[in-house]
Structure formats: structure tokens, C-alpha cells
Structure 1
Amino acid sequence: MVDVDFCIVGAGFAGLTAALRLKQAGSSVAVLEARDRVGGRTFTEVRDDGTWVDRGGAWVGPGQDRIYALMHEFDAQSYKQYAGGDAMMIVDGKQYRYKGAAPRNLNPFATVNLGTAMLELAKMCRAVPLEAPWDAKKADKWDSITVAQWLDHHVPSLAARELLETAIGGTYTSDTSEISLLFALHQMASGGGPEFVFGIEGGSQDSRIHGGMGAVYGPMAAQIGDSLYASQPVRRIDQDDTGVTVRADGMTVRARRAVVAVPIAIASQIAYEPMLSVDRSLLHQRMPSGAVWKINIVYDEPFWRAEGLSGQSAAPGTPAPVTIDACTDTGTPGVLCVIVEGPTARALCDLDAAQRRADILDSLAARFGAKATSPVDFIEQNWTVERYSGGGMISHAPPGVLTEFGPALREPCGRIHWAGSESSAVMCGWVDGAVRSGERAAAEVMASERVAVA
């Protein structure tokens, strides 16, 4: 048995941050990670030519101060997401090239409808308390309907509706009919509003890290060192008056407190003795993750740039609904990232690899030309079936969940504390939110032990 001050379950950014801050404060830790790698829902792969590819979370943006602080701590540099040239959008069978947030030559009704909907979303976001969205004046109303129902009443333009469905549903990797409006408003508000969530320059996809996310989580894991144990899925956590006993497949850890820093759906697979609080137990049953593929397609060069395109495109209803330039800071080789979410992602799961590749490349060729069909590498990451992620990049709340069970997101259950991006009041759903949650959980367990000693 390993005996430490604190045990951390999960070595994504939340767990690694909690462990790092605890070690730096002089505490002993054991980090148990189910996978054979660290990084959680971020995953950097370095190819033979030295090119890195982020198969999971990849971007940082303004206001994400805690991930930037970690980058500074480990001397990781950022570079701007490529946004030169025109973006592309295919709506109602028509192809638009444009600069800015949306095509100016979209039909006037759709343009006005899209603009007013974004303004209304921003206004509602400002009315949501970040620490307690369930206390918003209209919380009960907003939590009783889905995003789809709100769109039904506020976005009559089919073109505008299709674009917002793609943007909002894609963010939560699920159909908008599954997502509470209050949850969507809180998540958007946590980043500063819808413009930040959906934006590139000055938004959530403003910059990337030189060397990928692994340039940060790798050094973090190295500093934690022998206190980190991979391939150790935790099956059970027992707690008593003096501590917790954490049982994994190949080891047992005794600690004063535990920090569970895994996605909510995965936390539900751990057995707890005694049982967790009723609200936390029911929360585990009510916040699923969605479906998402992230496919990095590598070309000899970023040919779209030479043709005046940014690589950013949106084509709702196709096998490649969203694309973005994913090149390194050198720009060579060319990397185009295809992001497929929600029902379309589930449909891709039913295809064999050859058909899936063919459908996606055909979809790209319709946008970018024949060169799109001749990649040198095709790197698929299906987060939908990742055993220890439980699905998409963020768990979401269906109607009724936040107002009933929201406070349980961060409330400790005895000696068990919770971390994870979904529990962060600021930058919920981003890597920065995961870092914030890890720092909060580390401070909580240390404060709890100081109180206990006193």
C-alpha cells in the first residue's frame, strides 16, 4: 500500500494541476491514471518528422490566465491560430467566402436573425452568476427548456438556425435538443459570452501552443515524477474518519483526502463507500458527454493558404461539418483539422475506416478542391468511444439538472473533493477551466487539513 497525504484520481490537466500545486506546497501525493498516458482530454502526438498534432483540446485564448501561467512556468510559448485569408461557409447548398464572423452576402433575413440571436444570447449570459447559475433570476425558466426550444422561438431563419445549431450543438458535442438553455448560457458566460466561445482572433481559438498541449502537460508530469502511476484505473474509494483508501487495479493508496479529477460520467463508474451524497450521486447520472471525432489530415503543404483561404469552414450536415487550419507555427506540413460532433459524429461511428475517410475527403474536396483528396496522413481520434473520457470534450446538463443538482458540482463529499473543467465557474469546458479546478481542489484539501489539525 502507498501511503501519502493526498491521492489524485486522473492525470488530465485538472488532476496534474492539483498534484503539482500540492507537491509544491510540500505535501506527498499519488496520482492514479487509468490510461497509459497523461493529458486526459488533451493528447499531443509527435510525428516522425517532428510535427506535433493535438488530437484533443488544442487552443488557448485571452482571459485564460491559469493555463497561460502554467505555460510561463514551463516555458511553453504560444503562436496565433492562422486566420489569414477567407473563411468558407456552405448553407442551403450555396458556398460563401468571407472575412469576419459571418458572410455579409448571406440572405438579409438570415443575417439579421443571426445577429439578433447572438445579441440576445450575450444579454442573457450577462444575467447568469458564474459561481451559481442556478441563482439567476430566470434560472428556473431557462433550465426548463432546451437550446433547441429557444432557437425554435427566436431563430425563424432556417439558414441562421442551421449555423447556430452547428455552433452551439458542436460546442457541447450533442444535439441542441439535449442541452439546457441555462447550462449553455452559463458555459458561454464563463468564457465571456458567445463571441468568445465561437471566435478565433480574440476568442477561444485565438492561439495554439508551440509543441502542442503536451509541451505543458509533459513537464508537469515529469515534475510529479514517481508519484504518478499510469494504467491504474480506480475502482473504489472508501472513506472513514481519518482518511480515504483508494483501490485501483494494481495498487491501493491510503491518503488523508482524495481529489477525483475525471469526467463526471467516468466518476460515476467508481464505487464509493459510504455512498456519496444524494445530490452528487444523482448528478453523476445526469451529466453525460456527447460524441466527437477530431481528425487531423496532413498534407505536404497548406495548399488552402496559397488559394487565399484560412482553412476555417462550416458546412452543416456534411461528414466534415467544421474545419480549421491546425498547422504548427512553421506552417509546414499542412494540417487541416476536421471536427465532427453530435449526431453526425455518431453516424461516422457506423462506418468502416475506409468509408469514413472517403466521405470526409470527398466533403473537403467540394470545399477546397481536388488537392484535399491526397493527404500524406489521416489521424483519427474518436473521443466518443474513449473508455476513460466517456465521450465529448465537455459534459453537458440537460434541462432541470443545474437548478436541482448544480451545487453538487464542487461541494466535497466528506474527504472526497472534485475537480474537472465542468466544475469551474470560469472557463468551464476549456483546458483553462480544468487548471482552475485543479488549483481550487488543491487549496480545498490543504485548507480542510489545516482546519482538522487546528
Structure 2
Amino acid sequence: KVLLNSQVYELKQSDIDVTVTTTDGRSYKAKYLIMAIPLPLQMKLHYDPPLPPLRNQLIQRTPVGCVIKANVYYKKPFWRAKGFNGFLACRDGQLVLGNVLDDCRDNLPLAAVTVFVFADHAIKMQGLSKEERMKIIAQDLAKAYGCDEGLQPVHYEEKNWLGEQYSGGCYVSTYPPGVLSRYGRTIRKPFNLVYFGGTETATSWPGYMNGAVQAGERAAREVLHALGHISYSSIWKEEPEIKEVPAKPFQLSFIERHPPSFRTIISFIGLSTVGCISATCFLLYRYLYKP
């Protein structure tokens, strides 16, 4: 049963159950709980007992990305007439467009492209009106496709994920340098009777629906194990391969499988430098010292 418009603000645990309370005063009790909200939003809840220190530190350091998603509609798919499939990827900073995809559908009378505006461009677009954002995106589409038809959209819809209070951004939490190495071990570690799902906790495709499904199924199996219904070894069972689409693993080189860390490189340089200095001193000593 899914309850809409039921914002949880408090989570209490005893030795035998978990109780969540919503902003309208309703309470719900269960033997176990799976939390699957974005990591930074977990700070908005009041916990009794408090979160473990390392998890508290983790969720303070995992901001969600900045994205505006827009659908721009035209009378005709003019890009197809020019031989384009509609896909664009702009990374030189000259255009606000990040990625663009053809979103034409047979059951819609209009042609459409889906536009993603990322990072700094999304932040800069915050202070503009919806009409101004549409105009800038249309101008960039015209430049990218090389035709003035891009300047003439007939409809525009957008989702500013930065303003969404129940996701905090899009698409997923980001991890600045050092966060995973210091706190990452706690990302899936249960908190008494609370287990953690959500796409951020996935081991494959985090940030995507694939990862959300994998994480949800894994968290559910953890609860089933806690209830005594399945063995511990069943928690991380392999997903069955789809026979119609067999897996084709990437062939990785040794350096790709074992990439050196920055600390390792610095240590290696330091050891090499010390070794070179020592060897030079030894040779000078042998050459200059005459008993």
C-alpha cells in the first residue's frame, strides 16, 4: 500500500520494532524498515536513537547533482530532415545543452527533443524565467543543428530538479574525493532495524532505475534474512542472465583493473626520489672516497 502526501519526519527504534511519524501526526509501526530516500535528505529526519557517527558524516558529504530537464516541442522533426538522429552531447561549455535526445512519439502530433542542462549551466539558469530558459535552449538547438527551425518551438515543458525538495537535485548523490574511502563502508550497513536501499546503494548502475531495483531487492533480502526466511548467502545472489540479450563483459587491461591511487603515485615518486638520491650518494662515495 502506497501512501501519498505522507512526509516522514521522525524515526524511532526500540529493540523489537520501528516507528515512523509523518508531518500530519500519523504513526506507522513495523518490525523492520527499508529507507530508500536520497542520502542528503536523510538528514531531514529526526532519529531516536541517533544515526551512527560515520553514517551521519557520510550523508553530510553527498550532495545531489544539478540538472534541469526540458522537453522542447516543434511542429516537425526538422533535425531528421537534415539527416540527424537528434542526439547531441555538448561538453565544451559554449552551449547550455548537456545532452539532447529525440523524443518523438507516434501517438503525439508534435515532434520533441528532450534536453538536459547540467552543473554550472543549470545553476546559472536558476535566476531566469521559464520563457527565458526556453529561448536560450532554442537558440542553442538552432546552433547545434545548424538551422533556424530550432528557434521556433511551439511548446515547452521543464523540470527544475534543483528546486525539488524531496530529491534535492538530480540524478544521484555525488562523492567528492575522500568520501567513499573514509565513509563508504557505511552506505549499506544496517542501522539496528533499519536497512538501506535506494539507487545510491547499488553496486551496478547506481543513479539509474536498474540500480534502484537491484538495491531494493537486495535490501528486501536482507530483511528476509533478518526474519529467518532465507540464508545469509542468498542476500547477494547473482541476477539471472537474460537469454535474449547475453552479457558481454568489457575486456579490461591490468591498469584498468588496478588503477593506482593518487596517494600511491605520490608514494612511488617519493620512494623513487629517495632511491635515486641514495644511489647517487653511494656512487659519489665510491668514486670520491679513496682509502
Q: What TM-score range do you get, normalising by the shorter chain? A: 0.7 to 0.9
Match for residue 21 of structure 2 among 247, 267, 271? 247
Partner Cα distance (1:331, 1:232) in 2: 34
Tell me: CA distance 1:346–1:393, structure 2 relative to 1, closer, same or farther (3 Å): same
Partner Cα distance (2:89, 2:220) in 1: 40
Secondary structure of 1:293's match?
strand
Match for residue 449 of structure 1 among 205, 209, 227? 227
With normalisation by structure 1, the TM-score equals 0.48
User: 1:434 is aligned with what amino acid?
Assistant: A
Tell me: CA distance 1:311–1:331, structure 2 relative to 1, closer, same or farther (3 Å): farther
Partner Cα distance (2:162, 2:64) in 1: 8
Contact 1:259-1:418 at 8 Å conserved across structures: yes
| CA positional deviation for 1:298 | 1.4
1:229 paired residue number: 3
Match for residue 307 of structure 1 among 71, 79, 82? 82
Contact 1:417-1:441 at 8 Å conserved across structures: yes
1:320-349 Cα distance to aligned partner (Å, 9 max, x none): 232111223668531111111111110011
Q: How does 1:160-239 map to 2 (within 5 A)?
A: 227-239=1-13
1:388 aligns with 2:166: yes
Q: How many residues align?
A: 225
Q: How does 1:50-449 map to 2 (within 5 A)?
A: 227-250=1-24, 251-315=26-90, 316-317=92-93, 318-328=95-105, 333-368=110-145, 369-449=147-227
1:394-439 Cα distance to aligned partner (Å, 9 max, x none): 1010011111111111111001111111100011111100011111
Partner Cα distance (1:302, 1:252) in 2: 51
Secondary structure of 2:10's match?
strand
Tell me: CA distance 1:329–1:418, structure 2 relative to 1, closer, same or farther (3 Å): farther
2:238 paired residue number: none
Larger RCO of the pair (alpha carbons < 8 Å, separation 6+): 1
User: 1:327 is aligned with what amino acid?
Assistant: C
Tell me: CA distance 1:244–1:279, structure 2 relative to 1, closer, same or farther (3 Å): same
User: 2:23 is aligned with what amino acid?
Assistant: D
Partner Cα distance (1:428, 1:447) in 2: 24
Partner Cα distance (2:183, 2:109) in 1: 48
2:269 paired residue number: none
Partner Cα distance (1:256, 1:387) in 2: 29
Partner Cα distance (1:341, 1:367) in 2: 17
Aligned CA-pair RMSD: 1.5
User: 1:248 is aligned with what amino acid?
Assistant: T
1:124-183 Cα distance to aligned partner (Å, 9 max, x none): xxxxxxxxxxxxxxxxxxxxxxxxxxxxxxxxxxxxxxxxxxxxxxxxxxxxxxxxxxxx
1:193 paired residue number: none
Partner Cα distance (1:339, 1:332) in 2: 23
Stretch moving more, 282-291 or 297-306: 297-306
Contact 1:290-1:395 at 8 Å conserved across structures: yes
| CA positional deviation for 1:282 | 0.8
Secondary structure of 2:87's match?
strand
Stretch moving more, 406-415 or 313-322: 313-322
Contact 1:302-1:332 at 8 Å conserved across structures: no
2:274 paired residue number: none
Partner Cα distance (1:298, 1:353) in 2: 15
| CA positional deviation for 1:267 | 1.4
> Where does the alignment leave 5 or more consecutive residues of structure 2 unmatched?
230-291
Partner Cα distance (2:167, 2:105) in 1: 26
1:213-254 Cα distance to aligned partner (Å, 9 max, x none): xxxxxxxxxxxxxx2110111101000001011011122101
Tell me: CA distance 1:299–1:334, structure 2 relative to 1, closer, same or farther (3 Å): same
Partner Cα distance (2:199, 2:212) in 1: 4
Secondary structure of 1:414's match?
coil
Contact 1:302-1:331 at 8 Å conserved across structures: no
Partner Cα distance (1:339, 1:298) in 2: 14
User: 2:140 is aligned with what amino acid?
Assistant: S
2:261 paired residue number: none
Secondary structure of 1:309's match?
coil
